[in-house]
Amino acid sequence: MLGSIIRVPQRFFEFGWEVFSAVLDYRKNILKKGLDQDYREKALWLQHWSRRCLRALNVHCICEGTLPRNGMLASTHVSYLDVLVIAAHIPCVFVAKSQVRKWPVVGWITNLAGTLYVSRENRGDVKRVAAAFRPIINLGLVAVVFPEGTSTNGHEVRPFYSSLFEPAVDCDFPITSAWVGYKVPEPYKVENNVCFWGDMGFAPHLIRLMSTPRIDAKLVFGRAIEHPTDRKEAALSMHEEAVRIATKEGFLAQ
């Protein structure tokens, strides 16, 4: 208990310092150089600072599978921590629901990183984001989507929204499946300390995250569809692959 009380302010300071340093670095090496519209430079900036932020939070990552070099990545989603874990491994641009833009800290950083925000209820907005995909992927970046539409407690994989796969079908981009999972030491619980889901408040959850002595993250890249032809089939195939990985990793019942 005493260790947790001491740990929280220390982690807040270390993580806060990394975020502050990231913003200064962005101003110096991205904004002042006129690179704020350069998605590749912003993706590399996000990758560098994601690694530093993960170290500040004492998150240890393991990555398995073949890293995608371009196209779309369809990942499971349990926490805002997923963004740092994925970005630390591949230069990428995230596609997020429009509400994320308003989140404290997370919304600010994702906005700097060039995140494409989409209103999933508005089909026309999906088309708008689809038009922005091509130049990004042509730069050799990966467009990351969380097709479950929301985060979970890590012990389920919700059906994937097929509308988010339409840009890959229209532009003939490969789609790769990914799964993200976490483990923490007892008596801490992944469902409470890492997963951000349901009606959790951001500030209380961030305190619980900071109180966790160590977090082990695992990112698994699954199989890819090189030439998707139907968005519904692609969504179903990527969902099945995510379920397969989650079951293999012991997060879903056999």
Q: Angle between the 202-211 and 2-26 helix axes, to the nearest 10 degrees? A: 110
Confidence of residue 140 (pLDDT cuts 50, 70, 90): confident
Report the distance separating Cα 176 and Cα 225, nearest Å. Answer: 6
Tell whether the torsion through CA atoms of 38, 39, 42 and 43 is positive or negative.
Answer: negative
* CATH number listed for the domain at residues 2-248: 3.40.1130
Per-residue pLDDT at 163: 86
| 118, pLDDT greater than 90 | no
Segment 126-141 shows an average pLDDT of 79
Each residue's pLDDT tens digit, 217-235: 999 999 999 999 999 999 9
Rounded to 5°, angle at Cα 14 from 13 and 19 = 95
Per the structure block, which two tokens stand in for 23? 């913003």
What 3-state DSSP class applies to 200? coil
Per the structure block, which two tokens stand in for 70? 């371009």
Report the distance separating Cα 250 and Cα 130, nearest Å. Answer: 35
Segment 200-219 shows an average pLDDT of 95
Residue type for 100, please? V
Per-residue pLDDT at 245: 97
| 96, pLDDT greater than 90 | no
Backbone angles phi, psi at 151, to 5 degrees: -90, 160
Segment 14-36 shows an average pLDDT of 95
- pTM score, two decimals? 0.94
Contact 157, 242 (CB under 8 A): yes
Segment 114-127 shows an average pLDDT of 73
| 105, pLDDT greater than 80 | no
Each residue's pLDDT tens digit, 144-192: 999 998 899 999 999 999 988 988 998 899 999 999 999 999 999 999 9
- Residues 6+ positions from 9 with CB-CB distance below 8 Å: none
What 3-state DSSP class applies to 31? helix
Confidence of residue 123 (pLDDT cuts 50, 70, 90): low
Q: Is 94 left (phi over 0), alpha (psi -120 to 50) or beta?
A: beta
Strand partners, 97: 118
Q: Among residues 122, 83, 86, 104, which one has the least CA distance to residue 16?
A: 104
Contact 88, 67 (CB under 8 A): no
| 64, pLDDT greater than 90 | yes
